[in-house]
Chains A and B, each alone.
Chain A
Amino acid sequence: MSQLDTPVLELRNVTKTYSVKQGLFGKPKPLTAVNDVSIKLARGEVLGLVGESGCGKSTLAKILLGLEAPSSGQVLVDGQALGGQDRLALARRIQPIFQDPYSSLNPRKNIYDIIALPLRVHSIGNEVSRQKSVREILDIVGLPARVMNSYPSQMSGGQRQRVAIARALIMKPEIVICDEPTSALDVSVQSQILNLLNELRQEFGLTYLFISHNLAVIEHLATRVAVMYLGRIVEEASVESLFDAARHPYSDALLKSVLTPEPGLGIPDTHLGMTYPNPIAPPDGCHFHPRCPSAMDLCKSQRPTPLFDAAGRIECHLFSP
């Protein structure tokens, strides 16, 4: 069955460049937020995406959602280029859950209007059937029907995130892009939301792209992991093999940071120093070489090429053929 082999969502050599103005009269400089990224999402899997703040995770998510057009490269849904797809059709298949539930719900609308918006935009059903759908989805995400008349300001972060999940799922999408859906929440609520997301995935057969700073979350939820550094995917592997034996020195550093006594809530301390490179002027050669404990001379001048093997993908001179 070729249908099963085609990834539901695929990025092919996608690059996104912003032009950033420095100062009032500064010349705009290109900032490559996503640099020649290719990833595939198979139906039903959870691809975890990890990386430091500013490495381009959210930009990647926006490109997948069709909110940003890639500067070059292709986004394919079911093997078809995104440009050819109608925006509404795409919206029915891919929905986001954002990081900050305090910013993702319109404070001027009540919960019913927020959750029913997708149905209204897509002219699904009438007001009566919409109300029924909203009740059902509220029940599924664990909120009582009476919150329909409440406003976001009356709810806690966890409840708001449930509302955001309900809005994302009401049209029964196939793919959900979760951009750090728990990092703005209290630790106690985080696990509730994660469990909910996990159950929903099984229940509805969803495919997730799950972005997180938190490797523990990724280990818990994901089936495959992509590690991103300065706009590039530097390693991709199954969760088991990555957590057993990370190959890329950056993945290794990320993993070690999780094992330190203080569990990183936000950005894990990578023990790599704070010298996160300027994305406007990335280092030559391997972007990671100024911080890499295993850097060689070659790394300073020559960029490693990705190697694809049975374990996944790795982009590092240590693993050059």
Chain B
Amino acid sequence: MTLATSANSVDPLLQDIIGPTPGQQLRRRFFGHRGLMIGASVLGLLLVIAVLAPVVAPHDPYAQDLMARMKPPVFLGGTWENILGTDHLGRDYLSRLIYGARVSLLIGFVAALISGTIGTAMGVAAGYFGGRVDMVVTFLINVRLAMPVVLVALAVVAILGGSLQVVIGVLGLLLWDRFAVVMRASTLQVRGREYVAAAQAIGASTPRILLSEIMPNIMNNLIVVITLEMAHAILLEATLSFLGLGVQPPTPSWGLMVSEGKNMMLFEPWLVLIPGTVLFVVVLAINLMGDGLRDVTAPENRS
């Protein structure tokens, strides 16, 4: 081998350069980010509670007790029997809140999953293929952006009737616009990188390039949008339920709880404040997590 002499001389600097892998760096930044940790903890706790609702909830959320209506929560002079009091039908407020978390999280996850799949497919296709495909997708995004989400959702639910499935379906089919916009822009950026050209020159198939070269490099943006849209869907469900066109009673839903409490708001404000606060905290936690994820993954993108 004529080569062995000079080409094989290993770079002496190599030892010093080997540092943490991108995965290790990411983990370090992840655990070092306070907002992200707070958001993730709150959300994680809520998830556990929602999953374990039958075990955690002190009462049956549907059991009415008309003799014990609107008992105040403990901190307003109530008893430990109903820690957060009871509603206008005497149902345990804490238990309804816990079961309501199931509804909210389910809607958040599934709606974000549906809209994420639609929006990502459209955005990635538009960004990667450009030309006609891009024109069609951009047109669809503009059409979608011209539709007021709440009004369209209200109209559809009014026609089809409110149920968990309908609400999830409507939100899933309405909230893909941000996915499409962000994924299109990220794909456009990544597809210009030389490693994509290298993969093309190797002869890699288009699905392979999309899955192993493009997707891993736009994943961080996707995760951020997923969190934002989850929060969005949860709020919209609450809005629809509040207006009486979302999840139907007696299903426990936070929006429905606010709605049912609003008649008594002046006399028993906690009926509205408790579910309202929970909603606020959950959306805040999700947004904290989304912001944190963006912070944590951004420097990687640049390097």
Contact = CB atoms under 8 A, between A and B. Distances in A.
A and B associate in one complex:
yes
Contact of A105 (B8, B195, B300): B195
Given A139-B8, A150-B18, A199-B3, A67 B216 contact: no
Nearest to A104: B194
> Among A95, A144, A151, which residue has the most Cβ atoms of chain B within 10 A?
A151
A96 B303 CA distance: 23
Contacts of A92: 203
Contacts of A154: 17-21
Interface residues of A, number: 51
Contacts of B18: 147, 150, 154
A108 B198 CA distance: 15
A150 B197 contact: no
Contact of B198 (A94, A98, A141): A98
Contacts of A131: none
B303 A153 contact: yes
B11 A158 contact: yes
> Among B1, B10, B194, B201, which residue has the most Cβ atoms of chain A within 10 A?
B201
Contacts of B203: 87-88, 90-92, 118, 121-122
B295 interface: no
A79 B8 CA distance: 37
Given A91-B202, A95-B201, A202-B2, A141 B21 contact: no
Interface string B18-36: 1111100000000000000
A155 interface: yes
Interface in A99-113: 99-100, 103-110
A92 B200 CA distance: 12
Given A104-B195, A153-B22, A143 B17 contact: no
A33 B190 CA distance: 23
Contacts of B195: 103-106
A92 B6 CA distance: 27
A74 B303 CA distance: 39
Contacts of B1: 203
Interface in B189-210: 193-195, 197-205, 208
B301 to A, nearest CB: 8
B163 interface: no
Contacts of B194: 98-100, 103-104
B291 interface: no
Given A107-B217, A139-B8, A151 B204 contact: no
Interface string A108-141: 1110000001100110000000000000000111
B201 A108 contact: no
Interface residues of B, number: 36
A98 B14 contact: no
Contact of A65 (B6, B201, B204, B303): B201
> Among B10, B193, B205, which residue has the most Cβ atoms of chain A within 10 A?
B193
A159 interface: yes
A65 B10 CA distance: 31
Contacts, number: 117
Nearest to A95: B201
A230 interface: no
B14 to A, nearest CB: 7
Contacts of A91: 201-203
Nearest to A153: B303
B296 to A, nearest CB: 15
A242 interface: no
Contacts of B20: 154
Interface string A145-165: 001011101111011000010
A99 B193 CA distance: 11
Nearest to B203: A91
Interface in A198-244: 199-200, 202-203
Interface in B117-169: none
B266 interface: no
B7 A199 contact: yes
Contacts of A110: 21
A108 B216 contact: yes
A167 interface: yes
A153 to B, nearest CB: 5
Nearest to A144: B10
A142 B22 CA distance: 24
B198 A167 contact: yes
Contacts of B19: 154
A159 B17 contact: yes
Contacts of A100: 194
Interface in B15-63: 17-22
A196 interface: yes
B7 to A, nearest CB: 5
A103 B194 CA distance: 5
Nearest to A100: B194
Contact of B22 (A99, A139, A151, A202): A151
29 contacts: A66-B201, A67-B197, A67-B200, A91-B202, A94-B201, A95-B201, A100-B194, A103-B193, A103-B194, A104-B195, A104-B198, A107-B22, A108-B22, A109-B216, A110-B21, A121-B202, A121-B205, A122-B202, A122-B203, A139-B8, A140-B8, A141-B7, A144-B14, A153-B300, A154-B17, A156-B17, A164-B198, A196-B6, A203-B3
Interface of A: 62, 65-67, 87-88, 90-92, 94-96, 98-100, 103-110, 117-118, 121-122, 139-144, 147, 149-151, 153-156, 158-159, 164, 167, 195-196, 199-200, 202-203
Given A103-B194, A121-B203, 6 more contacts: A67-B201, A96-B197, A96-B201, A104-B193, A106-B216, A203-B2
Across the A-B interface, give the 4 residue pairs with the lowest CB-CB distance, nearest first: A91-B203, A104-B194, A108-B216, A98-B194
